[in-house]
Structure 1
Amino acid sequence: MSLDWSKILSSSDAFPESPSSIKAIQTHISYVFVLDDVVYKIKKPVDFGFLDFTTLEKRKHFCEKELELNRRLCPDLYLGVEPIVKTPQGYQIGGEGEVVDYAVKMKRMPEEGMMSNLLRKNSITERHIDLIVDALVEFYKNARTGPGVDEYGSIETVRFNTEENFSQTASYVGTAIGPHRYEYIVSYTRDFIEANRDLFERRIKEGRIREGHGDLYSQNICFKDTEKVYIFDCIEFNERFRSGDVASEVAFLSMDLDYHGRQDLSDYFVKRFIEKSGDRELLQILDFYKTYRAYVRGKIGCFTYSSEEVPENVRAQALEDAKRYFNLAYGYSGGRPTVFVVFGLTGTGKTTLSKALSSRSLATHISSDITRKALAGVRPEEKHLEPYERGIYSSDFTERTYQRMLTLAEEAILEGRDVILDGTYR
């Protein structure tokens, strides 16, 4: 039976530090407990095919692997692996008793230094990016490569990774990604692999395949002012995800900066990495890997959305995040947003058709009726009667409505979404 550690370890007595506060966070694969000065991470007994934590022995092994691998970039951040024991008084971290699970223990990073928080505050600068580039170039120079690693950059492995993504997200087509966009990304990916065999093989020969981080994005990066960077929480559970072309890792953080609306820093990061590493060929494969990385993040969002034990609000947000990541993947693969215009006389079924089309394609439905009411401060469901071509139905107000619809459409298109404009347009 799987134990819900978020409820069991809710008391400060369960931790040797006796913290004054406990913040429990759940993902689809772990429980994370943020205390005053330290963080504990417990793996869930789940099996996703690419990840298997189903036995105590496996969870212990991967806790130890997490410690070993993350100390490559953060030797002073990861403190150890602690047993979770059952005592007559209950469950606790450390101490004497029956060992029922294990937790990775690490120092708590300052919230104000987390890259994701700094991005939300628009506080990331080129100096921060320089710190990341310097750390990564040195890391990849010394990272494991050659036999036992190089195969992860082969066409066979790359194809396996992408096809795995597509098979694992097929059930979310129509929920998190529209059918056309799914098919477009699949086709682009397969065509790119087939057309660039020489490029993949050349990058192996040039030593560009390394045992890297595997999860290089802002959630796993923290700064101490603009003096030091910590890049933590690498993938320990699957060497295939951790190892590959360094271009794939660069693409991940570049994509993440795009996701946060900082394409300027994304471009700067890629430019500085190429300058420092000398890897000018990276640009030829960057969009392919940005497509792949955005799609992986979309897939993870889908998994979180499907995790029933995760709070409903977190699941709902995960689905919206997945849609955004899939939209990014579509754009990187060369796809462009589509604008549908549904128009006709009043009462002919425009809105019914628009809603059906939106439900199937996941396009953003912009209704003239709802937009008109919003401009007038009227609730969408409220009936509002006016004489013919008077009040909110006057020609001037109608023109304002259509202009507002265009503005909303432009905003959606800039975010990579398809749009349905629904109005009479007379």
Structure 2
Amino acid sequence: MASAGDTGDVLLVEKVAALGDPAAYPEPTTAVTAVETHFSWVFLTDRLVYKLKKPVRTEEMDLTSLAGRTRNCEREVYLNRRLAPDVYLGIVDLMAGEDGRLHLSGSGRVVDRLVRMRRLAEDDCLEVRLTRGLVSPADAARLARRLAEFLASLPSLGPVSPVRLRQEINMSLGDLTTACDGCFEQAARRVTAHLLAFLEYRSDVPAHDRLVDGHGDLRPEHIFLGPPLRIIDCLEFSDALRRRDPVDELAALGMECERLGAAWIGPALLETYGQVAGAPPSPDLCAFYRGLRALVRARIAVRHLTETPNRAPERWPRQAAEYLRLADRAAAELTVPSGRRPSSSAAL
């Protein structure tokens, strides 16, 4: 790989414009589709996908330098090869030629680096298949077995912290009570009261007491049933967000499947994990994590309303309401000792 230093002289807008041209790519392509995400620009050619990191800084990562973006690309490839080894092909250089044109082949001065991936068929995506009613019990069983074996194989990184779980709950409550003129406050307080009471009064929580370096963002849109089965887009930028209880990971995916009308998948995931791990998780623990993750997803939805520019602002309140309904449903399943459930005002 060519050597490179920081190259702040080439603006992001110039890179995006150059990568929209099929001539910039080493392999022939009839077209290029550019998709903007929160932290990246993604370019889809006929057969491949290229991901360009934005030069942003957050609490979890600093991508303002070329060195920082390179490290992030390397981390993304390394971590995602665990569940999609043939998808993450490596890292490529974006170079400026002597004529100043930007390209991904040949020689020149390195101005950035991109993750290079195999493009997967949209029809294989779990989210797409769920919306079309095309997921079979055999598909779910194959997915459950792959995830259970992966999560059970990971070394323990220590116990789950109830303090951290409380922080996630209260952070979500804070954002949801102030969003959209307080329209989510009542539901958010009710959910958080149930979740916090469960943490306070159940001595067996969390029952598995095991953190692993997992995926961190198991959602149907990141799963491609194939065959072969591939799971992409783990949270490479944050060790803390990726380190979760396996039951937490699987309950979160089950909750997302429930949102898409396939509530039956969640129990299948957790039952298979219990068989592989040798210790089935309690229904209460599964409901707790489903409620927590739905609450967090509602918080993320309303946070999108503060972004500039705000893409699709009408989408986020509707999505937050969907997740809060799921959180409310899961939280209502929790049991605590008789007479110990606090009122919603106790959630703060």
TM bin, normalised by shorter chain, reads: 0.7 to 0.9
Cα displacement (A) at 1:168: 5.0
* Contact map agreement 1:247 1:282 (CA 8 A) in 2: no
Task: Give the 3 Å change call, closer, same or farther, for CA 57–165 of structure 1 in structure 2.
Answer: farther
* Contact map agreement 2:144 2:272 (CA 8 A) in 1: yes
Alignment of 1:94-109 (within 5 A): 94-109=105-120
C-alpha offsets along residues 304-331 of structure 1, whole Å, 9 cap, x if unaligned? 4443346x4x443344223312222232
Looking at structure 2, the residues matched to 107 and 274 of structure 1 have their Cα atoms a distance apart, in angstroms, of 33
* Contact map agreement 2:20 2:43 (CA 8 A) in 1: no
- Equivalent residue number for residue 315 of structure 2: 317
1:81 aligns with 2:81: no
* RMSD, aligned CA: 2.5
C-alpha offsets along residues 88-126 of structure 1, whole Å, 9 cap, x if unaligned? 343333543333332111101111111111111100011
TM-score by length of 1: 0.69
TM-score by length of 2: 0.83
* Contact map agreement 1:32 1:41 (CA 8 A) in 2: yes
- Equivalent residue number for residue 210 of structure 1: 212
Looking at structure 1, the residues matched to 144 and 277 of structure 2 have their Cα atoms a distance apart, in angstroms, of 9
1:57 aligns with 2:57: no
1:179 aligns with 2:181: no
Classify the secondary structure of the residue corresponding to 1:280: coil
Looking at structure 2, the residues matched to 319 and 23 of structure 1 have their Cα atoms a distance apart, in angstroms, of 28
Task: Give the 3 Å change call, closer, same or farther, for CA 136–90 of structure 1 in structure 2.
Answer: same
* Contact map agreement 1:305 1:315 (CA 8 A) in 2: yes
- Equivalent residue number for residue 362 of structure 1: none
Looking at structure 2, the residues matched to 126 and 104 of structure 1 have their Cα atoms a distance apart, in angstroms, of 34
- Equivalent residue number for residue 32 of structure 2: 22
Counterpart AA for 1:156: V
C-alpha offsets along residues 160-210 of structure 1, whole Å, 9 cap, x if unaligned? 3334444455542537x511112223323322222235422x522xxx421
Aligned residues: 322
Classify the secondary structure of the residue corresponding to 2:264: helix
Classify the secondary structure of the residue corresponding to 2:113: strand
Task: Give the 3 Å change call, closer, same or farther, for CA 138–36 of structure 1 in structure 2.
Answer: same
* Contact map agreement 1:131 1:228 (CA 8 A) in 2: no
1:143 to 154, 157, 173: 154
- Equivalent residue number for residue 329 of structure 1: 327
Classify the secondary structure of the residue corresponding to 1:24: strand
Looking at structure 1, the residues matched to 174 and 26 of structure 2 have their Cα atoms a distance apart, in angstroms, of 44
Cα displacement (A) at 1:19: 1.8
1:156 to 159, 163, 187: 163
* Contact map agreement 1:173 1:182 (CA 8 A) in 2: no
- Equivalent residue number for residue 391 of structure 1: none
C-alpha offsets along residues 246-299 of structure 1, whole Å, 9 cap, x if unaligned? 111111111011100112333333333334433323423111111221123223
- Equivalent residue number for residue 346 of structure 2: none
Counterpart AA for 1:239: D
Classify the secondary structure of the residue corresponding to 1:174: helix
* Contact map agreement 1:30 1:43 (CA 8 A) in 2: yes
Counterpart AA for 2:109: E
Classify the secondary structure of the residue corresponding to 1:203: coil
Looking at structure 1, the residues matched to 93 and 175 of structure 2 have their Cα atoms a distance apart, in angstroms, of 33
Higher relative contact order (CA 8 A, sep 6+): 2
* Contact map agreement 1:155 1:197 (CA 8 A) in 2: no
Looking at structure 2, the residues matched to 301 and 91 of structure 1 have their Cα atoms a distance apart, in angstroms, of 36
* Contact map agreement 1:33 1:39 (CA 8 A) in 2: yes
The structure that has the greater radius of gyration is: 1
Counterpart AA for 1:325: Y
Q: Which runs of 5+ in 1 are unaligned?
A: 336-426
Task: Give the 3 Å change call, closer, same or farther, for CA 317–15 of structure 1 in structure 2.
Answer: farther
* Contact map agreement 1:81 1:105 (CA 8 A) in 2: yes
Looking at structure 2, the residues matched to 53 and 221 of structure 1 have their Cα atoms a distance apart, in angstroms, of 26
Counterpart AA for 2:268: Y
Q: Runs ≥4 in structure 1, deviation > 6 angstroms?
A: none
Classify the secondary structure of the residue corresponding to 2:253: helix
Looking at structure 2, the residues matched to 6 and 303 of structure 1 have their Cα atoms a distance apart, in angstroms, of 26
Task: Give the 3 Å change call, closer, same or farther, for CA 98–159 of structure 1 in structure 2.
Answer: farther
Segment drifting more, 62-71 vs 326-335: 326-335
